[in-house]
Structure 1
Amino acid sequence: MNEPISNPGRSPVPAMVGICAVILIIAAMYWAQNVFAPITFALLIIAMLWPFQRAMQARMPQLLALLLCLVVTVIVMTIFTSLLAWSLSRVGRYVLSDTARFQTMYSELAEWLEGRGIVVSGLWEQHFNAGWIIRIVQQVSGRLNTTLTFSLVVLIYVMLGLLEVGDVGRKLKRFKAGSVGEALFIGSGETAAKLRRYMMVRTLMSIMTGVLVWGLTYAAGLSLSAEWGVIAFALNYIPVIGPLFATVLPTLFAIAQFETWQAAVFVFVCLNLIQFLVGSYLEPRIAGNALSISPVLVLFAVFFGTFLWGIAGAFIGVPIVIAIVTISAHHESSRWIADILGVGVGDTAEG
């Protein structure tokens, strides 16, 4: 009688354990977003600041260099949020001062829809009233308080993290070749370089997008052209979703101001051409292969990040993917992740 042939394949247990671990990590990130979101943003900021911190530490005491880094971070965050708040408040005041025109537009649209069997009468009265405006103001105020608290927690993590970066690097460097520690040490360095390059490219493209949007809206005679440029600049940091809103909002205002669909279509088409030129043509060529990940993966990262942490997740989703695939490329057991997602060991960024 022949002996049964044993299955030489690998046991499915490690794969199942890995899948369960990933599911638990995602669940923890969702339910404990107040803990994980600030840490993730702090790690991104630390990756941006560490070369500056290291250079300053060579010329002055560590605490003084840390204070300088924190001051620079606060100044940049304050300028960014002030510009965005200024532009959004200007747009909001414009809407409130011209409510009659928007209500007339709504009435005409409702009449056109009802002529085609879509009844929307009473929607304005039910939702767009004084109570609705008060609720919006309350939500904005609550969101502002949450954002300030979030920023403070992030700054605390950044301060503590910058003090520990050197020690953590020395500990990881002691791990033997081929270990997870070595993969973390090499992968984290490459990840930081890639994230710096990603943010530099994203900033350059955001500035270019803002200038082009300002020039287009100014030439077209659309009101609040400077504000639309600032909004396009700020929202361009959020892939996919940000450019969509930066295109739709000026188009709606073009409909209200010019009262012709032709002018609105012209503005809409030109804004989309700007987004395509900057986002789909110039940015990939400037970023190079070091940041090349699938557009499908970018879209998934943005929407999945939005599901986890809202707008903050949409912003941080792509950097998280860059970190995962870069670190995965440096260990044998996880290299298949980088191979599938299109980032290999050789695709390193210049830091």
Structure 2
Amino acid sequence: MTSAKTSQAAQVIVALVLFVAALSIASSVFAPVAFALFIIALVWPLQKALQGLLPRLLALALSLSVMVVAFFAFGSLIVWAFGRVGRWIVSDAARFQAFYEQITLWLEGHGIAVAALWSENFSSAWVLRAVQTVSGRLNSTMSFWLVVLVYVLLGLLEVEDFGRRLKVMRNRDMAELILRGSIATAAKIRRYMLVRTAMSVITGLLVWVFARTVGLPLAEEWGFIAFLLNYVPFMGPLVATVFPTLFAMTQFGSWQAVIAVFACLNLIQFIVGSYIEPRVAGSALSISPPIVLFSVFFWSYLWGVFGAFIGVPITIALITFCALHPSSRWLAEMIGAVPKETSATAGSGAAA
């Protein structure tokens, strides 16, 4: 019996390793599908409401138009914010150069040869490679979004048909699990994005007010960057505080002011992320913080920036499906909260 359990556990581990390897190797296939399912979960309520008023294809066209306009608007704001920061750095290059020389002198005075390291690793060839990398990423990003758009188009057309196929499946238990899990996952993802968007707006506004108050240039841009990066838990807020802090080093004359800027920005992120958001999200979306951090790192390792963005929604889906089956409910209880209705259903089923 023990050897059989050991063999079964080994098979499960091998299957998981192969599955993760497949996700990584075939990321160009799986990542667009996962992102498309994520978007379908967000867009389907709009599509369903429009279908009640308009023909199906016209409702689909309007839903896709709203999605495309939203993405273009968001992308334009991203280009505007980072473009403004980049232009300011170029126009203020002399001050950044002076700051760099101060840091270099201080580091070399403590035995760290920064100049030699810079000349060895950063050259015209490095700049060319960086430009080529950025261009390649932009091209791959456009291809990624085109594939996602096709999947979303086909997926929105298939949602109702998929539900009907589940209702006529012979394996009723599996059909019920998939149907209930899909509905619950979509609802939780919509709630997660609503909460995350609200918290991102609050964070961006607070960062903007703080930057304007202390006289930090580009206050609107820092506010939007904080809003944008807040969609990536843990890592996004950290980056959102580091960028303006580095910028403040060249704007203020004292290290005390720079430390105060960094501390206040982190205080804003802490209050919103650790105090306000858990109370707004409630227990239905509560996930262990180490699991959230692991999700961000794990999926960003597999799928890059897109994986970091949807890592937590994927974990929410995993927890939701695990909570619906007795054999996997322990995993949902360990890494997240099990909804009360699920526990009540499980209790009544056990009693029966």
TM-score > 0.5, shorter chain as reference: yes
Counterpart of 1:94 in structure 2 is 88
Decide whether the 8 Å contact of 1:187 with 1:327 is kept in 2: yes
Counterpart of 1:246 in structure 2 is 240
Shift of 1:178: 6.9
In structure 2, how many angstroms separate the alpha carbons of the residues matched to 1:129 and 1:61? 59
Counterpart of 2:135 in structure 1 is 141
Decide whether the 8 Å contact of 1:41 with 1:316 is kept in 2: yes
In structure 2, how many angstroms separate the alpha carbons of the residues matched to 1:24 and 1:129? 40
1:237 aligns with 2:231: yes
Shift of 1:259: 3.0
Shift of 1:347: 6.4
1:301 aligns with 2:284: no
Name the SS of the counterpart of 2:276 in structure 1: helix
Percent of paired sites with the same residue = 55
Q: 1:41 aligns with which of 35, 54, 61?
A: 35
1:83 aligns with 2:77: yes
In structure 2, how many angstroms separate the alpha carbons of the residues matched to 1:139 and 1:10? 50
Give the aligned residue type for 2:327.
S
Name the SS of the counterpart of 1:72 in structure 2: helix
1:316 aligns with 2:303: no
Decide whether the 8 Å contact of 1:290 with 1:347 is kept in 2: no
Counterpart of 1:29 in structure 2 is 23
- Give the direction of change, closer, same or farther, for the CA distance of 1:61–1:174 in structure 2 (3 Å limit): same
Counterpart of 1:152 in structure 2 is 146
In structure 2, how many angstroms separate the alpha carbons of the residues matched to 1:106 and 1:317? 36
RMSD: 1.9
Counterpart of 1:4 in structure 2 is none
Give the aligned residue type for 1:71.
S
In structure 2, how many angstroms separate the alpha carbons of the residues matched to 1:226 and 1:236? 15
1:103 aligns with 2:101: no
Decide whether the 8 Å contact of 1:206 with 1:232 is kept in 2: yes
Q: 1:273 aligns with which of 267, 277, 281?
A: 267
In structure 2, how many angstroms separate the alpha carbons of the residues matched to 1:134 and 1:308? 26
Counterpart of 1:204 in structure 2 is 198
Deviates more, 1:327-336 or 1:43-52: 327-336
In structure 1, how many angstroms separate the alpha carbons of the residues matched to 2:44 and 2:168? 21
- Give the direction of change, closer, same or farther, for the CA distance of 1:128–1:19 in structure 2 (3 Å limit): closer
1:284 aligns with 2:278: yes
What does residue range 253-272 of structure 1 map to in structure 2 within 5 Å?
Answer: 253-272=247-266
Counterpart of 1:341 in structure 2 is 335
In structure 2, how many angstroms separate the alpha carbons of the residues matched to 1:130 and 1:82? 30
Decide whether the 8 Å contact of 2:284 with 2:339 is kept in 1: no
Deviations 1:247-298, CA, capped at 9 Å, x for gaps: 0000000001113211111111110011011111111111101100100100
Counterpart of 1:114 in structure 2 is 108
Deviates more, 1:255-264 or 1:153-162: 255-264
1:169 aligns with 2:160: no
Deviations 1:1-35, CA, capped at 9 Å, x for gaps: xxxxxx59973444333222221111111011111
Name the SS of the counterpart of 1:238 in structure 2: coil
Deviates more, 1:160-169 or 1:93-102: 93-102
TM-score between both structures, scaled by the size of structure 2: 0.92
Deviates more, 1:119-128 or 1:293-302: 119-128
In structure 2, how many angstroms separate the alpha carbons of the residues matched to 1:205 and 1:37? 26
Provide structure 1 residue ranges, at least 5 long, that are not aligned to the other structure.
Answer: 1-6
TM-score between both structures, scaled by the size of structure 1: 0.92
Counterpart of 1:53 in structure 2 is 47
Name the SS of the counterpart of 1:121 in structure 2: helix
Decide whether the 8 Å contact of 2:229 with 2:236 is kept in 1: yes
Provide structure 2 residue ranges, at least 5 long, that are not aligned to the other structure.
Answer: 343-352
Counterpart of 2:347 in structure 1 is none
Name the SS of the counterpart of 1:257 in structure 2: coil
1:227 aligns with 2:221: yes
Decide whether the 8 Å contact of 1:326 with 1:343 is kept in 2: no
In structure 2, how many angstroms separate the alpha carbons of the residues matched to 1:97 and 1:181? 61
Shift of 1:234: 0.7
In structure 1, how many angstroms separate the alpha carbons of the residues matched to 2:341 and 2:242? 36
Give the aligned residue type for 1:215.
V
Give the aligned residue type for 2:219.
S
Counterpart of 2:185 in structure 1 is 191
Name the SS of the counterpart of 1:343 in structure 2: coil
In structure 1, how many angstroms separate the alpha carbons of the residues matched to 2:121 and 2:15? 44
Q: By percentage of residues, which structure has more helix?
A: 2
